[in-house]
Structure 1
Amino acid sequence: MATSVWSRISAALPPDKEHFPLQFSEKVPGSVVEMMRRCRSQVYGDAPAGRRLLDAQIVLDFSWEKLNTGTWRHVDKEWRQVYSYGCLFKVCALCRGEPSEEDLLEALRTCDMGLLMGATIMDDRLQVLVHILQKEVRKDVRNEDRGEAKRMKFALPEFPQISERLTIPRLKCPSLESFKKNYLLPRKAVILEETIDHWPALNQHPWSLEYLRSVAGCRTVPVEVGSRYTDEEWSQTLMTLDEFIDRYILKRSDTSVCGYLAQHQLFEQIPELKDDIRLPDYCCLGDGDEEDVTVNAWFGPAGTVSPLHQDPQHNFLAQVVGCKYIRLYSPEDSDKLYPNPSPLLHNTSQVEVENPDTERFPEFAKAPYLECLLRPGDVLFIPIQHWHYVRSLEQSFSVSFWWS
């Protein structure tokens, strides 16, 4: 197996170092470029394994410091590319010789770090290496605890009673003209039915836990820990999707602690999942191109809450798995929703929607709202800047499309 792994990886690389691009501006010091050239030579040479791994780690450590200096939006793309090259060199170092299963898992994790934190290099070569490594990483199908978890009995969720007077209207496949005239331009919320029934995620490849494990269980993903991002104990960490499912979806010994996978890179990182969804046709009514639509994944257990907040773009929230309770408020009533005075949370209300402090926030009860239960196959149109509160009633996987 070891020989075939390296032969497949080396076949995915340029044939020699002369065809292996390493071009950077003066923003990247010559000493760093020289270290990368040394790593490049080692890919095609016979340097000791320890030396290859050490030099790759030097590139990673130096670029990691640059990635974590200042705000993320100010990180230069070239430093993200340096980090990706460091990841590629480390994968090559780990997979030469006779890599153990731990080496292969570390190589896969390294690719994921490059995809998450780095920038595309060499025609997305890290994604090519991921496909090679995924086929080699063995699944532990003997995991008895996982089998027990599958047989766990989950209590039926308590669904809130939705008043017919307050419910968000539903509509089946309106025409583009009708949607634009009656909902987009007047900025009215609506639930669109039967518009994503053709998604593979809902038919050919239903997104069960087993399916998610099969296509991405060994992949490293960012996870938010905490029931809501406004909690003091909220944090972020990295773990494999298998670990996330086992720890936060199936075995929640402490139901007050939630893990939530919420990220916009998931579908770029794992193309198998991206192939299971489609861009809603109504996004073509926006001002930008398809590339301007931001696609987000939201996967977590029952009880996870998105506090009342507003976004600067329109949103199609497509429900794939499970059910969510959602409440919407108009931006015209923002003064009754008590936005957080913090610059970082100015788009988030201070009020706990389903348990408001009426003494601190007396006007909140006067704010009119609409609500709904969003079920698999439903797509909720949330107009720009409309305040929305979301609570997962079951294990849930949603996909949102932000567009202008």
Structure 2
Amino acid sequence: MALLGAEDQGGGLAADETVWVEVRTLLPSTEEGLTLALSGEVEDCVQELLRRGRRVLYGAEGRPGREAAAAMDRIGDVLRDYSWEKLNAGPWREISKAWRQVYAYGCFFGALSQVAAGHPLATAVRLCDLGLLMGASVLDNVLARLVRVLQCHLPRPAVEVPAQRARADPPPVPAVRPEDAVPHLHCPSLEHFRDNFLIPQKPVILEGITDHWPCMKKWSVDYFCQVAGCRTVPVELGPRYTDEEWSQKLMTVSDFINQYIVNQNSVGYLAQHQLFDQIPELKEDISIPDYCCLGEGEEDDITINAWFGPEGTVSPLHQDPQQNFLAQVFGRKYIRLYSPQDSENLYPHESHILHNTSQVDVDDPDLVKFPSFSKAAFQSCILMPGQVLFIPVKYWHYVRSLDTSFSVSFWWS
């Protein structure tokens, strides 16, 4: 086994040493420069463990040796395990940011130990993603910068080619009656949109406002595997989140694509609001719609969500607490909309967790159990690539993917 830092036979740096050199450029040149500031109080023993990890990292002139890498790995494990207990001690909104930062530092030291030891980089990338998903930003968002370097050295994940098999005919595309159709507008002015749709809270489909987005020409299933195939993301498993068997699982984007998009072994949906922060290469391909400036909040208050899944994925009839622009990038979606004034006819769940979700199965409503549902008037549409649907705050909406589909939603106030 070659010594750490040795050169290869051609006189250049060995491959794993090259990665370490690139990683090292992301870090401060001195131990004092790597600040360990936390946004809150934690136990003194945790602070000492953070300082010990820093000392190990900067204890060697160059790349940490095997013993140092192993020590840093153990420190990362302890930090992650201890902070994980704190992260699961209560509601997420009540978790101290300091403990999320401790978890991020644990992922940081763990990822660096994997690189220093010359281990497969996929483990280091996964640790970075866990820190980005569960932790809070540390060292000028070092985990995002670190993972961007590491994934350049990973081979592109392969998309499997499924064996030919008999495929059931897809369900017919729902009919949209002209009298129920959501109106369309091409690039309306801010004033026109505000006066005719935002203030009166009326749904509308906007066309032409995403034509300049790079994603409209670049994004595809293959592109996602190329750009983000090695990245670990949370995936929702099950046809809809109201089903008893619904669950969540962490997996790589390439595994998600192979299992749920290509082979369609079961229903899985990549639906999350952190994807664009986690993978900024994707965020560079979209833009916040100009109409969001009509809201009361700042741009940083806008939540951007990703929705990526196979044909047949369903979001049950539900309502959201903010205004929503739903932009379709590829694939088609059938969407049905109900006014908040019809809420009583839609039978919301009585539990606090699902109070924003209807008990009615829109595809097969039980009118004996929910007789007033037939009284509720609705609008509907088939959202096509390049179209953006404005869903007013608290408007009930049901969504079904008619194809493999990727959408981006912007929640704003």
TM-score by length of 1: 0.94
> How many angstroms apart in 2 are the aligned matches of 1:79 and 1:243?
30
Q: In the alignment, what sits opposite 1:7?
A: 21
> How many angstroms apart in 1 are the aligned matches of 2:216 and 2:172?
24
1:249-260 paired onto structure 2 within 5 Å? 249-253=261-265, 257-260=266-269
1:268 pairs with 2:288: no
User: Which deviates more, 42-51 or 308-317?
Assistant: 42-51
Q: By how many angstroms is 1:148 displaced? A: 4.1
Q: Secondary structure at the match of 1:359?
A: coil
Are the equivalent residues in 1 in contact too, given 2:229–2:253 (CA < 8 A)? Answer: yes
User: Which deviates more, 155-164 or 273-282?
Assistant: 155-164
Counterpart amino acid of 2:76? A
Change (3 A) 1:281 1:155: farther
Q: Secondary structure at the match of 1:202?
A: helix
> How many angstroms apart in 1 are the aligned matches of 2:161 and 2:181?
40
> How many angstroms apart in 2 are the aligned matches of 1:181 and 1:259?
39
Are the equivalent residues in 2 in contact too, given 1:213–1:242 (CA < 8 A)? Answer: yes
Q: Secondary structure at the match of 2:400?
A: strand
Q: By how many angstroms is 1:50 displaced? A: 2.4
Residues 326-370 of structure 1 show CA distances to partners (whole Å, capped at 9, x for unaligned) of 000011111100010011101100000120001100000011110
Are the equivalent residues in 2 in contact too, given 1:158–1:393 (CA < 8 A)? Answer: no
> How many angstroms apart in 2 are the aligned matches of 1:376 and 1:140?
26
Q: Secondary structure at the match of 1:306?
A: strand
Q: By how many angstroms is 1:17 displaced? A: 1.1
Q: Secondary structure at the match of 2:76?
A: helix
Q: By how many angstroms is 1:156 displaced? A: 5.8
49, 60, 81: which one pairs with 1:35? 49
1:208 pairs with 2:220: yes
1:234 pairs with 2:254: no
84, 97, 100: which one pairs with 2:119? 100
> How many angstroms apart in 1 are the aligned matches of 2:249 and 2:126?
14
Counterpart amino acid of 1:127? A
Q: Secondary structure at the match of 1:138?
A: coil
Residues 303-322 of structure 1 show CA distances to partners (whole Å, capped at 9, x for unaligned) of 11111111111100000110
> How many angstroms apart in 2 are the aligned matches of 1:231 and 1:249?
20
State the percentage of identical aligned residues.
Answer: 54
Aligned CA RMSD, in angstroms, stands at: 1.7
141, 146, 150: which one pairs with 1:133? 150
Q: Secondary structure at the match of 1:19?
A: coil
Q: By how many angstroms is 1:25 displaced? A: 6.9
> How many angstroms apart in 2 are the aligned matches of 1:220 and 1:150?
29
> How many angstroms apart in 2 are the aligned matches of 1:74 and 1:25?
14
Q: By how many angstroms is 1:7 displaced? A: 1.1
Q: In the alignment, what sits opposite 2:100?
A: 80
Q: Secondary structure at the match of 2:353?
A: helix
310, 313, 321: which one pairs with 1:301? 310
TM-score by length of 2: 0.92
Q: In the alignment, what sits opposite 1:110?
A: 127
> How many angstroms apart in 2 are the aligned matches of 1:185 and 1:49?
59
Q: By how many angstroms is 1:26 displaced? A: 6.8
Q: By how many angstroms is 1:137 displaced? A: 1.0
Q: By how many angstroms is 1:139 displaced? A: 2.3
Are the equivalent residues in 1 in contact too, given 2:331–2:403 (CA < 8 A)? Answer: yes
> How many angstroms apart in 2 are the aligned matches of 1:193 and 1:2?
49
> How many angstroms apart in 2 are the aligned matches of 1:44 and 1:125?
17
Q: By how many angstroms is 1:188 displaced? A: 0.6
> How many angstroms apart in 1 are the aligned matches of 2:366 and 2:57?
62
300, 318, 324: which one pairs with 2:327? 318
Q: Secondary structure at the match of 1:402?
A: strand
Counterpart amino acid of 2:154? V
- How many correspondences in the alignment? 393
Q: By how many angstroms is 1:40 displaced? A: 0.7
> How many angstroms apart in 2 are the aligned matches of 1:392 and 1:25?
41
> How many angstroms apart in 1 are the aligned matches of 2:101 and 2:237?
29
> How many angstroms apart in 1 are the aligned matches of 2:264 and 2:152?
30
Residues 97-139 of structure 1 show CA distances to partners (whole Å, capped at 9, x for unaligned) of 4x133xx100000000011111111111111111110111122
Q: Secondary structure at the match of 2:250?
A: strand
- Which blocks of at least 5 consecutive residues in structure 2 are unaligned? 1-14
